[in-house]
Chain A
Amino acid sequence: MFFSLIKKQFKVFLRNPSELLLLLVMPIGLIIILSFALGSLWGGSNGETMEIEIAVIQHEDELKQFQNFIVEAKQTIPMTEPLLESMKSMLPVSILLDQVLNNGETQEFVKVTKLEKSDLEDARNGGNYNAIIEIPEGFTNDYLTSVFLNKNAPTFQVYLNESEQMTSVVIQNILDYYQYQYSLFTELAKNQLLTEEMTIPTLDITSNIKTVASKDPITSSTYYTFSMSVMFILFLAGTIASHAYLEKDSHIFDRIILAQVNPVTYLASIVVSTVILTLLQIGILFLVSYLIFKVPFTNLHLYLLITFMLSLVIGGVSALLSSLNYRTNSAEASNIFSNAFVAILALLGGSFFNISGISPVLAEIGLWVPNGAALEGYLKLVQDGSFSSIQSIITNLGIQAFILILVAFLLFPKRGGIA
C-alpha cells in the first residue's frame, strides 16, 4: 500500500513534461549558460592547473652565516664530523628553497624567483607574485643559534597576495608545513638527539603538499552545478506539495482516508517519495555536470551523504507545505513558496553569487537554509574532501530536516472531508 502511494507519485511525475522541464531542463540550461557567461568573472582560479609565483629575497648568503656560526659555536659545543653534516642538511633557507618549494611535486606549479633587496618595493606593488618571502639578515645564524644554544627563533616575512584565494591557501599550507619541519628540528636539538650520530629524518613533505595542491579550484561550472541544483531542488518540494493539495481538492484524499489509510502514512509517503525524487533529480544534474564539465566528485560517498541529508530536508519542506496546504485548504502555501520564497532562499543560500562577501550575518543565515547549507557542504568537499570539513553542515541539515518533518506531522489534519 505504501509502495503504491510512492509508485503513483512517480507515474504522475513522469507524465508531466512541464514539471520535468522545470526540475531538470531549466537547471541544466542555467548551469551551462551561467558557467560560460560568468566563467570569466571567476578569473585566476578558473584554470585547470595552478600557477604559483613566489619571489624570494635573501638578505645574506646562508653558507657564509653557517661558517660564522661554526666558529662561534665551537667554544660551547664539540663539533664532530657527523654533527657538522647534520647541521649542513638543516640549513633553513636551503630547505625552504630546495626541499619545500622546489621538490618534484611542487616544481610543477610553483615557480621561485630570486630577487634583490632593491626589487622588494616594485615586486610588492606590481602584484605579479602570489607571495614574496623576505629572509632578513643573519636569519640562518639566528636560527642555528636558537636551535643549539636555546635562543629565540628568528622569523621571516611573507607577503601574500590575498586576492587570489586558492593560491594563498596553498602557499599558507606549504609554509605551515615548513614551520612544522622547522620546529621538529628544534625539538630534536633540544632533546640532544642531533648530537648523536644520526641522520636527519627525511620528512615526507611531498604527500602533504600534494593534497594541498590537488585541492581543485572552484570553477564557475562547479559552483553553478551545485548552486543551481540546490536551488531547483526546492521547486521539487513545491511541486509535490501542490500535487498533494490536488489530491485533497479532488477528494482523492477522502478516498484514501476511507480506505483506512492513516493520514500519517499518507504524509510519510510524501516525505519518502520526495527523498527519492530529490536523489534522482540531483543525481541527474550531477551526472550531466560530470559529463559536460568534468566536475570531479572525488569522494563520491561524501557527496552522497550531503545529498541524502539535503533530500531529507526537502522531504520535510514538501511535507510541511502539504500540511499547510491542507490546513488552509488552498494551494497557497506551495504557490507562495515556489513563486517567491524559493528566490529568497536561493539568494540567501548563495545560489546566484557568494553572499558571504556582502555580510557575515547573511552568510550565517545562509547556512541555516537548506540550499545554503548544502551548497556550502558541496563546495567544502570540492576544496577539502574530508568528512570533518562537512561535519557541521551535516548536523545543520539534520536539525533542519528533523524540525521540518516534526512540524509537518503535527500540523497535518487527521481527517479527510470537504472542509
Chain B
Amino acid sequence: MLEVVNLSKVYKKVKAVDQVNFYIEPGEIVGLLGPNGAGKSTTIAMISTLIPPTEGDVLLRNENVIKEPTKLRKILGVVPQEIALYGDLTARENLEFFGSVHKMSKKLLKERIEIVLKQIGLENEHKKLVKHYSGGMKRRLNIGVALLHEPQYLIMDEPTVGIDPQSRNHILETVKQLNQESNTAIIYTSHYMEEVEYLCNRIYIMDKGRIIASGAKEEIKSILSSEKMVVVKFNRHSNVFIQELMDLPLLSNINVKESEINFTVAKDTNLLPTLMTLCEKHKIVLNSFQVEEPTLEDVFLHLTGRALRN
C-alpha cells in the first residue's frame, strides 16, 4: 500500500497542498479530481519523491520513502502533466533513451519497447520524430515511457488534457486494460469527472489544496442522496418571480441561466404544486420540469459552491 499522511506543501504565499491524507492499494484505480490549481500536481510530485513536502509523510508498506526513495522509485511509473519527451527524437529513440536511463538490459528493453508500442497503439509510427506527432500521439507516448519498466504503481497527471475524443478513448481503454491485465495500481488525476467516474473505484476530490471528499464512487454520490437536482424552464421570468422562488424554504443552490433555472430540493418534497401556484400568480408558463441524478460535478458544486470547470 502506498499512503500519504498529513501531507502539506507551502510555497512562499500559497498553501498548495494542505493536510492531505490518501492511500492506494495494489491493483486499485484511484481518482484524484480537482479544478485548476487544486494542488493535484503538487501532491503527485511529493508522492513520487520529486519535491520534499513541507510537512507529512509518504509511506510505502509503512516505510518512509522521502528519505529513502529508491524502493518506491523502482516500482513507480509517473506520467507527467507535461509532454516529457524529446521532440527531436523518434518514439522508438525516446523509449530507448528512457529505458537505458532506467538501466534496463538491451534485450529486455527491446522486448518491452515492442510491447509498449503496441499498448499505446504507435507500433506503425515509431519512426516519426515526436515533434511531428499529433497531440494525442504525444500523450500516448508520454504514457508509454512510464510503462517501460513495468511499474506496480502508476501515477497519471491529467493524461488526456487537450486531445481529440478518439485518442482520449484510446487512453482510457489503455488505462483500464493495464489495470486489469497487469494489475497495475493507478492514481488517475483529472478534472474531467466522467473519466474518473468511468475508471475509478475510489475517488478523492481536491480543492484549494485540501481533500474535500473521498470514498467509493457511490459513497461520494450519496453525499447528494438526500437531495435531488431539478431543472425547470419557463416561457419568461422576472426578478420578482425569481426572488419569490428563492424565498421558498424548500429550494437551495439556485442557479439561473436565461430561461433555465436549476436548484436542489430535499428528496421527498413535492415541489410541483407550490411551483404551479407561483407561476399562476405571475402569469408565467412552466415549459418543462426535470429531476436529474446527481453527478460528481453536482457533488463538487454542492461542496464548494463552484463548478469543477470554468
Chain A residues near B (Cβ < 8 Å): 1, 4-5, 7-8, 11-12, 15-16, 249-252, 254-261, 415-419
Contact = CB atoms under 8 A, between A and B. Distances in A.
Residue picked from A1, A11, A16, A259, most chain B C-beta under 10 Å: A259
5 contacts: A254-B84, A255-B101, A258-B49, A258-B73, A418-B41
Contact of A251 (B74, B84, B86, B88): B84
Given A258-B78, A260-B73, A4 B45 contact: no
A-B pairs, top 10 by smallest CB distance, nearest first, are: A417-B51, A417-B50, A251-B84, A4-B100, A251-B80, A15-B88, A259-B102, A259-B101, A416-B50, A12-B88
Contact of A12 (B48, B74, B86): B86
Contacts of A249: 82
A249 B50 CA distance: 14
Contacts of B73: 258-260
A365 to B, nearest CB: 38
A255 B74 contact: no
A255 B145 contact: yes
Nearest to B89: A11
A257 B101 CA distance: 9
Interface in B250-274: none
A1 B103 contact: yes
Contact of A255 (B42, B88, B89, B98): B98
Given A4-B100, A416-B50, A252 B88 contact: no
Contacts of B141: none
Nearest to A14: B88
A261 B101 contact: yes
A8 B97 CA distance: 7
A48 B21 CA distance: 81
A418 B88 CA distance: 23
Contacts of B88: 11-12, 15-16
B50 A259 contact: no
Contact of A254 (B50, B52, B96): B50
Contact of A15 (B52, B80, B100, B129): B129
A89 B157 CA distance: 96
Given A260-B70, A415-B52, A418-B51, A250 B84 contact: yes
Contacts of A260: 70, 73-74, 102-103
B101 A5 contact: yes
Contact of B50 (A1, A12, A415): A415
B76 interface: yes
Residue picked from B70, B100, B101, B129, most chain A C-beta under 10 Å: B101
Nearest to A255: B84
A417 B80 CA distance: 10
A64 B275 CA distance: 143
Given A259-B98, A260-B73, A252 B51 contact: no
Nearest to B146: A255
Given A1-B101, A251-B84, A258 B89 contact: no
A259 B109 CA distance: 14
B103 A251 contact: no
A261 B41 CA distance: 22
Contacts of B97: 4, 7-8
Interface in B64-84: 70, 73-74, 76, 78, 80-84
B148 to A, nearest CB: 9
Given A251-B84, A255-B146, 14 more contacts: A1-B101, A4-B100, A11-B88, A15-B89, A15-B129, A251-B80, A251-B81, A252-B85, A258-B48, A259-B101, A260-B74, A418-B45, A418-B50, A418-B51
B93 interface: yes
A8 B48 CA distance: 25
Contacts of A11: 88-89, 93
B156 to A, nearest CB: 13
Nearest to A11: B89
A258 to B, nearest CB: 5
A251 to B, nearest CB: 4
A419 to B, nearest CB: 6
Contact of B45 (A8, A255, A417): A417
A1 B102 CA distance: 8
A365 B285 CA distance: 88
Interface in B182-216: none
Given A417-B51, A418-B50, A250 B78 contact: no
Nearest to B149: A259
B50 A4 contact: no
B44 to A, nearest CB: 9
Contact of A8 (B52, B76, B83, B89): B89
Nearest to A13: B88
Contacts of A252: 84-86
Nearest to B102: A259
A16 to B, nearest CB: 7
A251 B82 contact: yes
Contacts of A417: 45, 50-51
A258 B76 contact: yes
Contacts of A4: 96-97, 100-101
A352 B78 CA distance: 50
Contacts of B149: 259
A5 B74 CA distance: 20
B266 to A, nearest CB: 44
Contacts of A250: 82-85
A260 B74 CA distance: 8
Residue picked from B52, B82, B146, most chain A C-beta under 10 Å: B82
